[in-house]
Amino acid sequence: MLLQHLRYLVALARERHFARAADACQVAQPTLSEGIRQLEEDLGVPIVERRQRYQGLTHNGVSSGSAPSHKLPHSHLDDTGG
């Protein structure tokens, strides 16, 4: 599991939109999507409700998405990835 993937999840939870989350992370949307999919694979649970559009986070996603933002210093989760 990469810290960057957790940043992507936090941004997605905040922005509630894949393209806006990608912009906030300064990456392309496919990069963000792949990072989220990798995080789901690493955790072994779905964390994003997907249909044709972003539907929200699953219960597991809410737990995963809120934990990093509370446990890591803010500077590690800023929009610049630094």
Query: Does residue 68 form part of some domain?
Result: yes
Helix (H) / strand (E) containing 57: strand 54-57
Q: What CATH number does residue 25 fall under?
A: 1.10.10.10
pTM of the predicted protein model: 0.66
How many DSSP H helices and E strands does the chain contain?
A: 4, 2
Share of the chain above pLDDT 70, in %: 61
- What is the 3-class SS of 38-50, one letter each residue? HHHHHHCCCCEEE
Q: Domain for residue 31, yes or no?
A: yes
Number of domains in the chain: 1
- Give the H/E segment covering residue 3: helix 3-15
What mean pLDDT do residues 1-25 have? 92
Flag whether 66 is in a domain: yes
Residue ranges making up the domain that contains 64: 3-74
Average pLDDT of the chain to the nearest whole number: 77
Tokens, residue 61: 């996603």
49 within domain boundaries: yes
Nearby residues of 28 by Cβ (< 8 Å), 6 or more positions away:
22
Where does residue 44 fall: left (phi above 0), alpha (psi -120 to 50 degrees), or beta otherwise?
Answer: left
pLDDT digits (tens, 9 = 90+) for 37-67: 999 999 898 888 877 666 566 666 655 555 4
Q: If you average pLDDT over residues 23-49, what whole number do you get?
A: 93
